[in-house]
Structure 1
Amino acid sequence: MGPSVADAFTVATFNVNGIRAARRRGFDRWLATRSADVIALQELRCPAHEVGAFPGYSAAVDIGSVAGRNGVAVLTRVPAAAVRTWVTHPPRARGLGEFATQGRYIEVDLADRVVTVACLYLPKGGLPAHLQRPGSMREQPDGGVKHARKQRFFAAFAREVNRNRLAALREGREFLLVGDLNIAHTQHDVTNWRAARTMDGFLPEDREWFSALLGSRRLIDVVRQTHGERPGPLTWWSWAGQSFAKDVGWRVDHQLATPGLARRANDVVVDKESSPDQRLSDHAPLVVTYG
């Protein structure tokens, strides 16, 4: 019998903020307990030979060429039918070349389901030059360089992901884009959303770009669809202060699915640890069940 989408399966996406550090904190215990069918990881942040094995899973990995930064992977119960990275399959959209070797995108065709899963770690940006105020920023003002980089990525990736989505559909596959997109889309996605309007990740241009990815015939935010128009579920909290304990954070980790798959999303869980000292990362795993 060939692959299908009929059986229920779970997909987790998790920015581990360094797989070695996450493993020291208990990642492997979470992996075994959660037992998701597909796990997408971002920010592995280590050399390829230190990624390690994941018991019970086959791993498709693009560690990237930037030492100690980025790195993505997709873990599957059954080895993927096909794996594409921007190194093995260079992006076609003009403007992504500068990002191709950074370990930001990996795409797999599941062997046991007619689904393509794409894992993205979208570049962090920064404030545009006119919003940068020396002395009020954690980083030194850069004249808007990081903001411009993110905008370049936005423009090119929107074209690329549309091509990839259509390519999957032509082959009879649903398409699922997951990962840390470094964007909170609506006011439900940030605890202090009014203050966040002048912060990277919640700027008008960030939110407009995210909106443009979505559509009833394109990609659907299955977390918002399932959770409803209410605050949360948050997936990131600062390491600093009482943000985690007080649940003051952002929803920047996402699962965006083509309509056929989105209709099957029936449960969303964020595996937020019960106390700050049990945290595996500054993010928490986002898990969606497709029934």
Structure 2
Amino acid sequence: MFKLTSLNLNGIRSAAGKGVEAWLARHSPDCICVQEVKAQHADVHGKYDALAGLKGHFHFAEKKGYSGVGAFSRHEPSDVVAGFGCAEFDAEGRYVELRFDTPQRKLSIVSCYFPSGSSGEERQQAKFRFLDALDPHLVALKAQREFILCGDINIAHHEKDLKNWKGNRKNSGFLPEERAWMTKLLTETGLVDVYRHLQPETTEACYTWWSNRGQAYAKNVGWRLDYHLATPGIAHLARSEAIYREQRFSDHAPITVEYDLGL
């Protein structure tokens, strides 16, 4: 089995101080995709460029202390791609792709951090631009190779994916346009929401993010924002899933899926 974890760190230095490396050593994934690294190369080099025996590969934001993604892998990739060819969002460090190519299969594992639009209309419009730019990239990638995109998508797709869906219909993360984009991704583009493939009906157990306000975590007033999105052939190799609600190192919980990949 290939154990793949995704986690928004809300700062790699902060998560390290809360014990994420010890948890990784116990959990022993083959790969962990991380988002919101909030660091640059100089901050990571020699400190966090490897965790629990996994080697890290990163796409840092140009702005210090902002965004950034990484993927730590037990297996050496055949290639690493940082960015997806959109200058606006490549400057924000939102996409890193590890390629594992063999004679039998071309496989990519992508760590991706979608923008949040919750701070206001300017960032919401940026989020829409990101979605518009990412979609054709994923279409082209799917035509060439199998892949799993892991990350903080910042979209709850269905009503069962968040606690207070009625009160959030006009809020970023549950806007009709965002949800329609997800629907298109899973129908026309043909990707699979792996968690929902394995757990089609779960509600409160599916949440991966809780606001730091109003005792949201204690009351489990959460959202499902963290996903594994895979091409169909890979999605159907998924065997089990786990959301580690009690093992948070940020305002997100780690989500793991085991795949029968045979790597």
Task: Tell me, in whole angstroms, the C-alpha distance in 2 between the residues paired with 1:242 and 1:37.
Answer: 34
Q: Which amino acid aligns with 1:287?
A: T
Equivalent residue, structure 2, for 1:262: 235
Task: Tell me, in whole angstroms, the C-alpha distance in 2 between the residues paired with 1:62 and 1:280.
Answer: 21
Aligned with 1:214: secondary structure? helix
Cα distance change on mapping 1:217 and 1:265 into 2, 3 Å: farther
TM-score by length of structure 2 reads 0.91
1:107 is aligned to 2:79? no
Deviation, 1:204, is: 0.3
Equivalent residue, structure 1, for 2:245: 272
The correspondence of residues 1-291 of structure 1 with structure 2, limited to 5 A, is: 8-51=1-44, 52=48, 53-86=50-83, 91=85, 96-110=86-100, 114-126=106-118, 144-168=121-145, 174-215=146-187, 218-231=190-203, 232-273=205-246, 279-291=248-260
Aligned with 1:45: secondary structure? coil
Task: Tell me, in whole angstroms, the C-alpha distance in 1 between the residues paired with 2:70 and 2:57.
Answer: 5
Q: Deviation string for 1:133-178 (max 9, x for gaps)? A: xxxxxx5xx5x2222111111111111111122221xxxxx21111
Does the aligned pair in 2 maintain the 1:177–1:256 contact within 8 Å? yes
Deviation, 1:287, is: 0.4
Cα distance change on mapping 1:211 and 1:178 into 2, 3 Å: same
Q: Deviation string for 1:260-284 (max 9, x for gaps)? A: 111111211011116xxxx410001
TM-score by length of structure 1 reads 0.82
- Structure 1 portions without partners, runs of 5+: 1-7, 127-138, 169-173
Greater mean deviation of Cα atoms: 14-23 or 262-271: 262-271
Pick the structure with more strand per residue: 2
Deviation, 1:251, is: 0.3
Aligned with 1:224: secondary structure? helix
How large is the Cα RMSD of the aligned pairs?
1.7
**Which one has the largest radius of gyration?**
1
Q: Which amino acid aligns with 1:65?
A: E
Does the aligned pair in 1 maintain the 2:30–2:75 contact within 8 Å? no
Deviation, 1:218, is: 2.0
Q: Deviation string for 1:23-62 (max 9, x for gaps)? A: 1111111111111111000000012122223131111111
| Dislocated runs of 4+, deviation >4 Å | 111-114
Sequence identity percentage: 37
Q: Deviation string for 1:73-93 (max 9, x for gaps)? A: 11110221110012xxx61xx
**Number of residue pairs matched by the alignment:** 253
- Structure 2 portions without partners, runs of 5+: none
Q: Which amino acid aligns with 1:251?
A: R
Task: Tell me, in whole angstroms, the C-alpha distance in 2 between the residues paired with 1:206 and 1:85.
Answer: 25
